[in-house]
């Protein structure tokens, strides 16, 4: 994205950028990056439109000069990253996350660009000129680097805390959201080195962040993420006994549970009701009737379904119902583990 400082037409005396020796003297390459394009008015084109076109062409030439240098730095950086990476290789899924972020952040942000045009009345030629001060651009990218680094490290710290507390789905989201920030950091570093080859850039630290994200995404991709929909009635009272116990059992097997069905590998439906059975002295018996369905979001089909009736007794109907629901939870978990347990 180009943020233009100004765009105008030089009137009267020839500008100090018209000749190559004047450009180097007034806009030395040690301080400025420039673009210069001469041209004629095309058939059916006004002078105003021709000036605008040539100013735009000069901008494009300036941008391309920077892009060539940045791409060169990017190739060097990619080579370093491959050499330094000690973690797991990027899977196709992880690679696509990085590629998507690279594509959306591919344009260079150039601030403080100045553009001018000049018409030589004696020859009819029109000249376009663009320049940007390297120090202003360096300041912009240093600020961008600092801001994005702070945001990245905050994301990584949050992701690690979430993963350590067992909230793997949320941790995975944080790591995924860290990728675009990492891409912006790497781009800023490439631009800064392109502007000044002696710039002090913490490439090693950035490579470590990249490696950390890749390892985390690979690690979290091995987990199973489940979205649970539960309807449970204990003699008309809405409860969550079965769902909570099933989640606890499956969590031991490495499963995580998400509130967004789009994040899930599986969707689990649980429907449970209770009914009175019989009594024996002080004991009351009842059944917990459960219907379960496990749907694979990736394959888009039902992988497993079953109906289970579990009987239990206690000294009250409520306690018997709760015990039956607890017992049926264990049976549901055992039936599900071969399908989704690790």
Q: How much of the chain, in percent, has pLDDT values that exceed 90? A: 58
pLDDT band at 134 (very low <50, low <70, confident <90, very high): very high
Q: In this predicted model, what pLDDT tens digit does every residue of 49-86 receive, in sequence order?
A: 999 999 999 999 999 998 888 888 778 777 766 655 54
Q: What is the spatial distance between Cα 140 and Cα 146, in angstroms, rounded to a whole number?
A: 10
Q: In this predicted model, what pLDDT tens digit does every residue of 258-292 receive, in sequence order?
A: 888 887 889 999 999 999 998 888 899 999 999 99
DSSP 91: P
Using DSSP, state whether 127 is helix, strand or coil. strand
Write down the mean pLDDT value for the chain.
87
Per-residue confidence (pLDDT) for residue 12, from 0 to 100: 66
Per-residue confidence (pLDDT) for residue 90, from 0 to 100: 56
pLDDT of 180 > 60? The answer is yes
pLDDT band at 5 (very low <50, low <70, confident <90, very high): very low
Q: What is the mean pLDDT of residues 196-217?
A: 88
What tokens does 165 get? 């507390």
- CATH number for the domain whose boundaries are 224-340: 3.30.160.150
pLDDT of 197 > 60? The answer is yes
Higher-confidence residue: 252 or 158?
158
| This model's pTM is above 0.75 | no
Per-residue confidence (pLDDT) for residue 92, from 0 to 100: 65
Per-residue confidence (pLDDT) for residue 101, from 0 to 100: 67
Per-residue confidence (pLDDT) for residue 80, from 0 to 100: 66
Q: What is the spatial distance between Cα 52 and Cα 115, in angstroms, rounded to a whole number?
A: 10
**Domain coordinates in residue numbering, the chain:** 1-222, 224-340
Higher-confidence residue: 252 or 272?
272
pLDDT band at 342 (very low <50, low <70, confident <90, very high): very low
CA 1 → CA 11, 62, 106, 149, distances in Å?
28, 13, 10, 21
Per-residue confidence (pLDDT) for residue 27, from 0 to 100: 96
Q: How much of the chain, in percent, has pLDDT values that exceed 70? A: 89
DSSP H helical segments within the chain, as ranges?
Answer: 20-26, 47-84, 92-104, 134-164, 168-195, 203-221, 241-252, 317-340
Higher-confidence residue: 200 or 243?
243
pLDDT band at 6 (very low <50, low <70, confident <90, very high): low
Q: What is the mean pLDDT of residues 32-40?
A: 95
| Residues with Cβ within 8 Å of residue 50, at least 6 apart in sequence | 39, 40, 41, 42, 126
């Amino acid at each position: 994205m180009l943020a233009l400082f100004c765009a105008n037409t030089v009137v009267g005396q020839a500008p100090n950028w018209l000749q190559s020796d004047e450009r180097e003297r007034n806009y030395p390459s040690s301080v400025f990056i420039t673009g210069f394009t001469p041209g004629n008015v095309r058939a059916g084109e006004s002078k105003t439109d021709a000036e605008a076109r040539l100013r735009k062409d000069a901008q494009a030439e300036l941008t391309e000069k920077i892009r060539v240098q940045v791409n060169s730095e990017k190739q060097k950086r990619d080579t370093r990253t491959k050499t330094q990476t000690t973690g797991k290789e990027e899977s196709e899924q992880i690679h696509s996350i990085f590629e998507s972020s690279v594509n959306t952040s591919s344009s260079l942000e150039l601030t403080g660009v100045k553009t001018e045009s000049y018409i030589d009345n004696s020859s009819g030629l029109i000249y376009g000129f663009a320049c940007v001060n390297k120090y202003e651009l360096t300041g912009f990218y240093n600020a961008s680097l600092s801001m994005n680094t702070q945001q990245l490290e905050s994301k990584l710290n949050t992701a690690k805390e979430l993963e350590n507390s067992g909230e793997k789905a949320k941790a995975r989201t944080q790591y995924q959201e860290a990728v675009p920030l990492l891409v912006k950091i790497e781009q800023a570093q490439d631009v800064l080195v392109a502007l000044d080859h002696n710039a002090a850039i913490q490439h090693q630290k950035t490579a470590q962040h990249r490696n950390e994200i890749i390892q985390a995404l690979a690690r979290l991709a091995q987990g199973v993420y489940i979205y649970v929909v539960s309807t449970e009635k204990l003699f008309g009272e809405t409860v969550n006994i079965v769902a909570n116990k099933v989640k606890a059992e499956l969590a031991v097997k490495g499963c995580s549970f998400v509130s967004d069905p789009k994040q899930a590998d599986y969707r689990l439906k649980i429907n449970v009701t209770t009914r009175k059975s019989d009594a024996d002295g002080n004991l009351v018996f009842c059944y917990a009737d459960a219907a379960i369905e496990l749907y694979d979001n990736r394959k888009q089909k039902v992988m497993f379904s079953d109906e289970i009736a579990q009987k239990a007794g206690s000294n009250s109907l409520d306690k018997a119902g709760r015990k039956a629901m607890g017992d049926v939870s264990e049976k549901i978990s055992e039936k599900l583990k071969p399908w989704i347990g690790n």
